[in-house]
Structures are given as C-alpha cells and as structure tokens.
Amino acid sequence: AQSVTQLDSHVSVSEGTPVLLRCNYSSSYSPSLFWYVQHPNKGLQLLLKYTSAATLVKGINGFEAEFKKSETSFHLTKPSAHMSDAAEYFCVVSSSGYALNFGKGTSLLVTP
C-alpha cells in the first residue's frame, strides 16, 4: 500500500523567506509523487511531479522538490515566499496509476 505523511499541518513564514513543506512517503513500489496546491474555494493545481527521472524536480511558481529514496522523503521548497503562496498544499503518491493517495495537507500562511 502507498501513503504519504505530511509532517506539518500548518507552516507560517514571512514574505521573502524560504518555504519548506515536509512529506514522507511509504510505497511498496517505485512511486510517483506529486505536490498539489489548493487555494481557498478553488480546485487542485499540480505544482510538480516526480516519476523516477531527475531526483530534483522543478515546478511552477518557483517551487521545487527533491526525491530522497534513502529518507523516503519528497519535501517541497521555495527560496522566497510570496503572499500569493498562502494556500493548502497536498503531497500525493501514486503507485498503480489509478488512485492518488493524498496526505492530510499543510496549510501555508505567509505573513507580511
């Protein structure tokens, strides 16, 4: 079975400072991993995905994530937070290609 654990339910950063949202995965197979973002009352938008190519994945809006098999982690980072980054972030794992299993989400708050 595949699952993800998002280690922080809430993260607060100041505008212009780095963002780190942590995710650990558990999978019986070589997983595909995704980060999705959900702004209030909006749908889910894909930020980036890992599919066993490069371990450092670059996504939209300056986000990137590094797949570390030895640590079973796929943490999301951004060098400098913007106010518009405030949203809910979901780490997602897919092994079969069918069901996507979501983490519990991390709420990112960006303060001026």
**Shortest distance, position 112 Cβ to other proteins, whole Å:** 25
80 φ/ψ angles, rounded to the nearest 5 degrees: -145, 115
- Identify the CA nearest to 27 among candidates 74, 62, 65: 74
Between residues 26 and 51, which has the closer beta carbon with respect to other proteins? 51
Whole-angstrom Cα Rg for the chain: 13
Between residues 67 and 75, which has the closer beta carbon with respect to other proteins? 67
**Shortest distance, position 8 Cβ to other proteins, whole Å:** 14
Between residues 78 and 103, which has the closer beta carbon with respect to other proteins? 103
Q: Is residue 50 within the footprint of other proteins (CB under 8 A)?
A: yes
Chain residues 66-95 in contact with other proteins, contact rule CB under 8 A:
90, 94
Chain residues 22-41 in contact with other proteins, contact rule CB under 8 A:
30, 32, 34, 36
Number of H helices, E strands in the chain: 0, 12
Q: What does each C-alpha distance from 111 to 16, 47, 86 come to in angstroms?
A: 9, 21, 9
